[in-house]
Amino acid sequence: MRVASLFAVASAYLAAAAPSVSKRDSCTITSTSAISAAISSCSTITISTLEVPAGETLDLTDLNDGTNVIFAGTPKFFYAHSLKQSTITGLNVKNTPVQGFSVNSANDLTITDVTIDNSDGDDNGGHNTDAFDVGSSDGVTIDGAKVYNQDDCLAVNSGTNIVFKNGYCSGGHGVSIGSVGGRSDNTVDTVTISDTTITKSDNGVRIKTVYDATGEVKGVTYSGITLSEIAKYGIVIEQDYENGSPTGTPTAGVPITDLTIENVTGSVSDGAVEVYILCASCSDWTWSGVSITGGEVSDKCEGVPTGASC
């Protein structure tokens, strides 16, 4: 299956200049067929539980002056759920409302040569603009993605046999496993992230598990990762997340095992930390060819497995 749906919306909330026409106060639309009438007659348009079919466009480019557009709930540009033996290729996406591609319960899905450009959000409050969120899926390959955003370039929350390769990630939170724990599916197994550039981001390589939760992270490989202009952490691995923030106290309920970090090179910004590891249950790691410069060496690492370096 080949999917090609475009979402022509500049942001999750659009406000034009002062109103010049008198229109009905507000309306809510739940299908693309209602768009035209809403544009002509409503001063406030709320988009709720709307799915844009493949081959159609949600086009709001002809809004009248003074029209407000509100996306209700948590919008996602591309809802790639329950896809089997499928391919998504060659999409160029600009300014997703919040998350880009939500991949869940997918099997044998390949996403190739997708560009997500949310760089306008750098100066206009882009938030939660994850490019690819993957959960409860098996056999997902993302190849050749180019991402400019303000959140995770990739976040694997659960799933098996996930590959992210030949990527370019700029401006966000890095390439992440997790956070793992606290969901119905809390297993990440056999994930390979390779030959990817991460630049102008808060973090480079990141793995985070949830404080006092259960689950497992195993068989993850980061290989051939190039870092530059990283603001916070070059490599950060933590077992202490709670409500979206670190607690400083790691717990052992989501062990991180059989992890490979190899050929991760580049630089972080002045004042950033090159490597930070906070573990309560981490073992069987392979650590080689890691060379990160330009920042500080952490003196707060805990539970660093044999062979790793912090």
By annotation, the residues acting in catalysis are 151, 173
187 C-beta neighbours (distance < 10 Å), count: 15
Report which secondary-structure segment, H or E, holds 35. helix 35-41
- Asked if the peptide bond before residue 179 counts as cis, ω within 30 degrees of 0, the response is yes
Q: Which residues pair with 244 in a beta bridge?
A: none
Spatial CB neighbours of 230, under 8 Å, sequence gap ≥ 6: 174, 198, 199, 201, 202, 203, 204, 266, 267, 268, 269, 272, 295
Are 11 and 95 in contact, with CB atoms under 8 Å apart? yes
Distance CA 181, CA 280 (A): 15
Report which secondary-structure segment, H or E, holds 38. helix 35-41
Are 247 and 200 in contact, with CB atoms under 8 Å apart? no
